[in-house]
């Protein structure tokens, strides 16, 4: 079975080219992106959160799956990386890009709950998971990637992934399935 998507968001080639120009190569891979678009499609009119915009590859896939009434908040600490996302996706009225540390954002957010959260940074994954889950509606989806250990990662990140996966079955309020697929995905639902 071929599991690579045959099409992707129109903005994707430009985002990837500009990412390369600034030396950023850690965007979500196409299979994960396709999954994000599919999951976003399951939430018509939904409120979607992305922690860790990077240069906007994940956001592009999420937007590709969202309907006209859905809304995305994407949070990134590095303004230079987020500038790539803004350049390619910033005119889409469904997305709000926020430049902030995800830890601080989790502490300060007091808006409506979310229907889907894609976490691509340590807060909400290796720490502050309970805080993130509190922002999801019951039935809301939780998605993280980069769970298959990679020898090129820093030792500390490999340790964080290992600890996260060990603790995952004990997390209150989350039903999750780790998938040894693509870059390694955890797909969960708030219960």
The pLDDT, as a whole number, for residue 15 is 97
The pLDDT, as a whole number, for residue 166 is 93
Cα gap 191→187, rounded to integer Å: 13
The pLDDT, as a whole number, for residue 92 is 98
The pLDDT, as a whole number, for residue 4 is 83
The pLDDT, as a whole number, for residue 154 is 73
The pLDDT, as a whole number, for residue 187 is 98
SS3 179: strand
The pLDDT, as a whole number, for residue 24 is 87
> Which residue numbers in the chain have pLDDT < 50?
none
The pLDDT, as a whole number, for residue 34 is 96
The pLDDT, as a whole number, for residue 109 is 97
Whether 60 and 34 have beta carbons less than 8 Å apart is answered as: no
- Residues 16-52 have pLDDT tens digits of 999 999 988 888 899 999 999 999 999 999 999 999 9
The pLDDT, as a whole number, for residue 32 is 96
Whether 191 and 138 have beta carbons less than 8 Å apart is answered as: yes
> How many Å is the Cα radius of gyration of the chain?
15
Q: Say which residues have a Cβ less than 8 Å from residue 82's Cβ, sequence separation at least 6.
A: 53, 55, 56, 74, 76, 97, 99
Question: Nearest-5° angle of CA 190, CA 98, CA 17?
Answer: 100
The pLDDT, as a whole number, for residue 174 is 97
């Amino acid at each position: 079975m071929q599991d690579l998507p045959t099409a992707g968001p129109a903005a994707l080639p430009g985002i990837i080219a500009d990412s390369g120009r600034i030396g950023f190569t850690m965007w979500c891979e196409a299979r994960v992106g396709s999954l994000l678009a599919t999951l976003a499609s399951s939430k018509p009119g939904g409120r979607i959160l992305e922690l860790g915009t990077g240069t906007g590859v994940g956001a592009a896939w999420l937007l590709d799956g969202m309907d006209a009434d859905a809304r995305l908040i994407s949070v990134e600490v590095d303004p230079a990386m987020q500038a790539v996302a803004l350049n390619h996706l910033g005119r889409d009225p469904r997305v709000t890009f926020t430049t902030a540390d995800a830890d601080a954002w989790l502490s300060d957010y007091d808006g409506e709950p979310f229907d889907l959260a894609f976490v691509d940074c340590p807060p909400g994954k290796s720490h502050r998971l309970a805080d993130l889950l509190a922002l999801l509606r019951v039935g809301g989806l939780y998605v993280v990637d980069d769970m298959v250990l990679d020898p090129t990662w820093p030792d500390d990140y490999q340790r964080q992934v290992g600890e996260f996966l060990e603790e995952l079955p004990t997390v209150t309020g989350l039903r999750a399935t780790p998938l040894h697929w693509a870059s390694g995905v955890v797909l969960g639902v708030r219960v």
